[in-house]
Structure 1
Amino acid sequence: MTQEIHGTIADGFEGVREEFAAFVAGERADYEGQLCAYVHGRKVVDLWAGTDADALYGVFSSTKGAAYLVVALLVQDGTLELDRKVTYYWPEFGAEGKGALTLRDLLAHRAGVVGTDSGFTLAELADDRQLAERLADQRPFWRPGTAFGYHAMVSGALVGEVVRRATGRTLQEVYQERIRAPYALDFHLGLPAPQEPRFRTTQPMAPTPDQQALLDATPTGPHTLASIAYNRNASEPTDLASLPNMPLIRAKGPASVGGVASARGLAGTYAAAISEVDQRAPLLKPDTVAEFGQFHSVGYDLVARAHRSFGLGFQITADVAHPFLGAGTIGHSGASGSQAFADPWSGLAYGYTRRRFAFPGGAAPENDRLALAIHRAALAL
């Protein structure tokens, strides 16, 4: 039985509803997902299936986008300087040969501290300050600044500690006060207890036989960079798919993986970043968006063991995933399949969530067709 499509679209975006309906028709009967988009600050797509518009989902690494928006805002204010050494703000970080690393390189996944030799406990993963304390003493896994690799579980804690040292406030507090609350965004770094009933537990999706064969053929030793980066080297290896199902993770909102959001929240956050929304000026100036969207690390990612592109924190979504997007697009996907970005050229802000963990992780494949349909409609305006 195909899920019914609910929600609204603006004139000119009828094809987006059709594309979403066609995708949902080919999915499992228990599919749950939401799709939302803004163009120049106006909501033009607000669709969902198998759930309701107010449901909240764990968005995994899409959380990082909110963290990097905080950093961008503080750089814009002059509170942070990209080319200062991290140790200017956080002296302890200089241990084990990390003293020359700049904030710019830290944001670009060039620090080399993707994890620790012994891994983290769940309590540490939930608490960015504990993570930062462990990482300050960690020997880097490559010479800082010479290469890059995705700091999957720790990048939010690393930049969060710089934010805390510079402002006296946690990254989560700055996000709440300057971004989430003023725009009433449904994107939380620390889910308030009264909002808990809206949360939908993440459900893993079993791989197909072909996908399982690929997994079986991929080396996954406990001490590879990938295993260290995803905390599979811990005494209790992390089950990534289950992280947002843990109340401690939702309550603390670690800035790498702990965010909880609706598609409206994801899209609304990026709309506020680049556009006037509800008569509020954009959070970021065009020059700030342009700098954070510049290519900073591009090529072979030592953790992913594949071609990747990063700006200042943000994934360069327009490189491989969505090459139709404008240069300088900022955004981030999440392991469950979520995706969120802002394209300053078209004025498009996009958000997508789903309940079942999409194989193999990262932006779910349907984002390709959904984002393309919305982008085409946005350009036609």
Structure 2
Amino acid sequence: MSQDVQGTVAEGFEGVREEFAAFLAGERDEPGAQLVAYHRGRRVVDLWAGDGLDGDSLTSLFSITKGAAHLVVALLVQDGVLDLDREVAFYWSEFGAEGKDRLTLRELISHQAGLVGVDGGFTTEELADDRVPAERLAGQKPLWEPGTAYGYHAFVIGALTGEVVRRVTGRSVQELYEERLRSPYDLDLYLGLPEELEPRWLPVLPLVPTPEQAERIAAAAAAPDALKGVAFNQHGPQPTDLVAFGNSRLVRALGSTSAGGVGNARGVARMYAAAISTVDGRPPLLTPATAAEFARVHARGTDLVTGETDHFGLGFERPVEQFPFLDPGVFGHSGATGSLGFADPASEVAYACTRRRFAPPSDHGPSAENGRLAQSVLRAAAGV
């Protein structure tokens, strides 16, 4: 691919362009990446590189979608529509089956329900439609005692929290996101990609691993019946292939709130900027208290699915656990290709890096390259 970096940076952010170019130069056959950052509500970095890719190109965002979905949830909590300490079954009576009656919304959103999958697994068609996993999970026996531990609900957390939203408001998360976030801020981040925008979407590309990378991937693979295998839907008759999932038109059209979002770095960064900063004259969406509550750790210890530590706030990941240079108040979410988006209320920086191809395996997680890139943005912001 052409490694030429395109786009612009504001004065003082020239070092970010250099770091982005260095990242691309170190990648083997990188097919495309975008990097965007906001500072105090102003876009200061807007870069991209890749054959056939530009700043407007759309890609499948996988779990970055969870950040968009839970920003909606945060707004509903802030508005008093949802109470984090109410039992989920208060809102959704069917959920109380199989000993789940005392689980609170706070515990659900922090991945403590023990419902990472269902017996027999899901089809792609089922995972694409949030209402189907929600219905099946309501009657599912949890895989650990709810509220006593946490584990990444990779493909289903959006369906679970989304059903609570639906029961209370009569609207889907996708509808509320469109009304309160995407349309008012003109975000290039969609929970349900309109068919007329399909020409802007670029397919996800698989990693073609080196022999060493292939060995590491094989070593990290979970047995289908292990918690990680269940969470990533490897235990059913149709084990989920992430590339095929991201490239499914049905998934893109329905906008599964766990992993079906489509967008670009401009859209992700602008969303997080709107959450914490004044954007286009509009005040921040979240109060400082709400942002802090959703960012702080709610379930301490080791994630039973991924093995990570103190990994989640409420719906959002805590990137500080992977990148200790970040402020503890940072909240966001990564995606399977190595993409990452986050908001830093302390510095008023919003960051997004998106990629078309799955990242090579790393000891520092799938989005390790974001460490150098995010540091360069924060250094520049501190100097402006």
TM-score by length of 2: 0.96
Equivalent residue runs for 1:123-272 within 5 Å: 123-218=125-220, 220-272=222-274
Paired with 1:306 and 1:276, the residues of 2 have a C-alpha distance of 33
Residue aligning to 1:43: 43
Partner SS state of residue 331, structure 1: strand
1:374 aligned to 367, 377, 383, which one?
Answer: 377
Q: Does residue 285 in structure 1 map to residue 265 in structure 2?
A: no
Paired with 1:28 and 1:209, the residues of 2 have a C-alpha distance of 14
Kindly provide the CA deviation profile for residues 73-132 of structure 1, in whole angstroms up to 9, marking residues without a partner as x: 000000000000001110000010000000000011000000001101111100000110
Could you tell me how far 1:213 is from its partner in structure 2?
A: 2.0
Mapped contact 1:65–1:314 kept (Cα < 8 A): yes
Paired with 2:227 and 2:268, the residues of 1 have a C-alpha distance of 30
Equivalent residue runs for 1:315-354 within 5 Å: 315-319=317-321, 321-354=322-355
Mapped contact 1:108–1:312 kept (Cα < 8 A): yes
Where do 5+ consecutive residues of structure 1 fail to align?
Answer: none
Paired with 2:218 and 2:105, the residues of 1 have a C-alpha distance of 38
Mapped contact 1:113–1:140 kept (Cα < 8 A): yes
TM-score by length of 1: 0.97
Kindly provide the CA deviation profile for residues 192-212 of structure 1, in whole angstroms up to 9, marking residues without a partner as x: 011000001000102332232
Paired with 1:111 and 1:30, the residues of 2 have a C-alpha distance of 38
Mapped contact 1:112–1:140 kept (Cα < 8 A): yes
Could you tell me how far 1:244 is from its partner in structure 2?
A: 1.6
Matched letter for residue 259 of structure 1: G
Could you tell me how far 1:25 is from its partner in structure 2?
A: 1.8
19-28 vs 228-237, greater mean Cα deviation? 19-28
Mapped contact 2:2–2:49 kept (Cα < 8 A): no
Where do 5+ consecutive residues of structure 2 fail to align?
Answer: none
Mapped contact 2:129–2:256 kept (Cα < 8 A): yes
Matched letter for residue 5 of structure 2: I
332-341 vs 26-35, greater mean Cα deviation? 26-35
Partner SS state of residue 332, structure 2: strand
From the superposition, tell whether residues 219 and 246 of structure 1 become closer, same or farther in structure 2 (CA, over 3 Å): closer
Kindly provide the CA deviation profile for residues 255-290 of structure 1, in whole angstroms up to 9, marking residues without a partner as x: 000000100000000000000001011111111001
Could you tell me how far 1:150 is from its partner in structure 2?
A: 0.4
Mapped contact 2:85–2:104 kept (Cα < 8 A): yes
Aligned residues: 380
Residue aligning to 1:7: 7
The list of structure 1 runs, each at least 4 consecutive aligned residues, that deviate by more than 4 angstroms after superposition, is none
Matched letter for residue 261 of structure 1: G
Identical amino acids, percent of aligned pairs? 58
Kindly provide the CA deviation profile for residues 362-381 of structure 1, in whole angstroms up to 9, marking residues without a partner as x: 64221111011001111112
